[in-house]
Structure 1
Amino acid sequence: MIIVAVGVAAAAAVYLSREPQPVTETSAAATLDTKGGGHFRGPENAAVTLVEFGDYQCPSCKAFAPVVQEVLNRYPKQVRLEFHHYPLISIHPNSMAASLAAEAAGEQGKYWEMHDQIFEYQERWAPSSNPEPEFLAMASRIGLNANAFMQAMRSPQLRDRIIQDVVRAREANIEAVPTFFIDGQQIHVPLSVNAFVDVIDARLKK
């Protein structure tokens, strides 16, 4: 446990001091070790796992949220979503706080409810110099204990959990959000539901 904690702390130091880097598109599709983790939405025994690395302050991530939900609606028994945090704090300064809000809600069993609220009300909290009141209002709307929620938002353990997702993203050479993988294979620039459907249908036929 000490080695893991030191590793996470070191990764956090590097991550939190990193300057913005230009995003480039690679021709070769990246792969991801499907070792689980993250938060899941969908059946545990689903035939296909859709992994998303996302940043709650990213407008593109918000734009993709209904697309991802439509994919889950089309495949309610076959597809499971696995979400991982990748807050790009150098360009989205409130993204870490948003990830902490989602994780704090998860401590009370309402991760996905907060996940949806954060994207829905992105325009309210994203430009704020202090987004916590907005997150607290969301917590109230979904029935969370406010004191427990705010205490959890300041938890080093939850921050480390997010940093572990960031480390995994770095290991997979992910440079943009959102980034999607289906059964470990990256999908490049899925512009529509059909881009997901084509890959999922091919996987289901195997």
Structure 2
Amino acid sequence: MTTPLQVTARLREPVTIEDHARGPSNAPVTVIEYGDFQCRFCGAAYANLHELLRQRADTVRLVYRYFPIANVHPYAERAAETAEAAAARGKFWEMHDWLYEHQDQLDPVHLSLGVEQLGLPPDELNGEVERGKFADRVRRDFVGGIRSGVNGTPTLFVNDVRHDGGYDLPDLLAAVDAAAND
């Protein structure tokens, strides 16, 4: 009797300098997250990934890619494009953190207030988002996620291999430690 081969999903779009990364560039473990700023599960993973980076500061680099599920989360795409507009001004991670820490305030009015809190020009950013200036970047991440087998959020890859375990802190620590020792 033969058993079916278990196919492990692999990242199809390699990490590049255009990706948003936090942590040492030469870290032995890279965790890639495909996330949606309005997804409550991504919000839960956010706190755990933040703590993972704190506990494994020399071991882990976190890469964030956009995967807004617009048919479920009506503000996710706008939030992603706003994060990219902030990135163009050197404030991606500040915007990223604000978005996850204010998930219940992603409507355009509150989003503008968040942009302003970060010291960014809200009218300018809103204009860029309205014109779709950063839509291609968000779409590129989304399509890359589809090509890599992403079908929900959050989806994590650890050193280019899909992490099908949980995203609570003990699971993440175990996955990172195992990858660091490979």
- TM-score, normalized by length of structure 1? 0.80
Q: How far apart are 1:117 and its partner, in Å?
A: 0.8
Partner of 2:120: 144
Question: Counterparts of 1:48 and 1:170 in 2: how far apart (Å)?
Answer: 22
Question: Counterparts of 1:132 and 1:114 in 2: how far apart (Å)?
Answer: 14
Q: How far apart are 1:29 and its partner, in Å?
A: 3.1
- Tell me, yes or no, if the aligned pair for 1:107 and 1:152 is still in contact at 8 Å: no
1:46 aligns with 2:27: yes
- The one-letter amino acid of 1:195's match is D
Question: Counterparts of 1:60 and 1:179 in 2: how far apart (Å)?
Answer: 10
1:204 aligns with 2:180: yes
1:35 aligns with 2:4: no
CA-to-aligned-CA distance 1:138-188 (integer Å, 9 cap, x gap): 111111122332233234341000000111111112111000000011111
Partner of 2:89: 108
Aligned partner of 1:185 among 152, 161, 169: 161
Which segments of structure 1 move beyond 4 Å, counting only runs of 4 or more? none
1:67 aligns with 2:48: yes
Partner of 1:58: 39
- Tell me, yes or no, if the aligned pair for 2:30 and 2:61 is still in contact at 8 Å: yes
Q: How far apart are 1:28 and its partner, in Å?
A: 4.2
Partner of 2:3: none
Structure 1, gaps ≥5 residues long: 1-26, 126-130
- Tell me, yes or no, if the aligned pair for 2:36 and 2:67 is still in contact at 8 Å: yes
% same residue: 29
1:95-174 equivalences in 2 (<5 Å) = 95-125=76-106, 131-174=107-150
Structure 1 vs Structure 2 CA RMSD: 1.6
- The one-letter amino acid of 2:175's match is V
Q: How far apart are 1:199 and its partner, in Å?
A: 1.8
- Tell me, yes or no, if the aligned pair for 2:13 and 2:144 is still in contact at 8 Å: no
Question: Counterparts of 2:143 and 2:119 in 1: how far apart (Å)?
Answer: 32
Question: Counterparts of 2:29 and 2:160 in 1: how far apart (Å)?
Answer: 10
Structure 2, gaps ≥5 residues long: 1-5
Question: Counterparts of 2:111 and 2:167 in 1: how far apart (Å)?
Answer: 30
SS at match of 2:134: helix
- TM-score, normalized by length of structure 2? 0.89
- The one-letter amino acid of 2:41's match is S
- The one-letter amino acid of 2:176's match is I
- Tell me, yes or no, if the aligned pair for 2:30 and 2:60 is still in contact at 8 Å: yes
CA-to-aligned-CA distance 1:53-91 (integer Å, 9 cap, x gap): 001111110111000001100111211000010011111
